[in-house]
Structure 1
């Protein structure tokens, strides 16, 4: 389900506003979650911190999920590079890997509280680094 959402969200032009929207989800958890008892953070990120590497099945699932994120985002970045929207000084896979680290890092930090404005500034820095 998340993959379909990601593919749909990134099948747009211009790409950078869609990428920013995806990256801001962890920084906007206070807006997105209003019920006190609802778990916070990303399921894959939480699984990573709680079960990997002790659980080989969880490790395989998480590895596959991260790989799919990179593949989907790299495909969108490749199209944006061809359109001249995104810098081509780095490979789309390296750019996608960086974005994975940003979104998962924000998901993890959001569990302990998050300076929302600092998080959004970091996201903007990451997105601006992709611009031509």
Structure 2
């Protein structure tokens, strides 16, 4: 993820990361049967009753937001993204979007609607 965010303009790179849940039906071996995200599924099924799973999920979400926050902070200073919100809050919004898409993908996902939501979020970050 860090390598993706460090190459070229940030917003297209963020979009590529965010569209993965919308493409799960293409990426799984059992086409048409998306299983969702391992971290998201662990959250839904094991947290908070399993302390080890809770720790793993917490670290994973923290790592996502730390990486995205650092990237947003860097490009916010350069004027590529809006400074109307803190990079930490922008990163959390993106975490919630990607995890929500992962969960919804398990029940079937309207890809066009998912991509429109992703594009709306990315457009909202523009300076």
Match of 2:46 among 45, 48, 51: 51
Alpha-carbon contact 2:25-2:33 (below 8 Å) kept: no
Q: Distance in 1 between matches of 2:5 and 2:99?
A: 18
Q: Distance in 2 between matches of 1:80 and 1:37?
A: 37
TM-superposed CA distance for 1:31, in Å, is 1.8
Q: Look up the SS of the partner of 1:124 in the other structure.
A: helix
**Corresponding residue number in structure 1 for 2:121:** 126
Alpha-carbon contact 2:36-2:102 (below 8 Å) kept: yes
Alpha-carbon contact 2:22-2:111 (below 8 Å) kept: yes
Alpha-carbon contact 2:43-2:54 (below 8 Å) kept: yes
User: Cα RMSD between the aligned structures?
Assistant: 1.5
Structure 1 gap segments, 5+ residues each: 1-5
What is the TM-score of this pair, normalised by structure 1? 0.91
**Corresponding residue number in structure 2 for 1:75:** 70
Bigger mean CA offset, 44-53 vs 30-39? 30-39
* Aligned: 1:110 with 2:105: yes
Seen in structure 2, the aligned counterparts of structure 1 residues 14 and 115 have a Cα distance that, compared at 3 Å, is same
**Corresponding residue number in structure 2 for 1:3:** none
Structure 2 gap segments, 5+ residues each: none
**Corresponding residue number in structure 1 for 2:11:** 16
**Corresponding residue number in structure 2 for 1:87:** 82
* Aligned: 1:35 with 2:52: no
Q: Distance in 2 between matches of 1:27 and 1:12?
A: 22
Alignment coverage as a number of residue pairs: 127
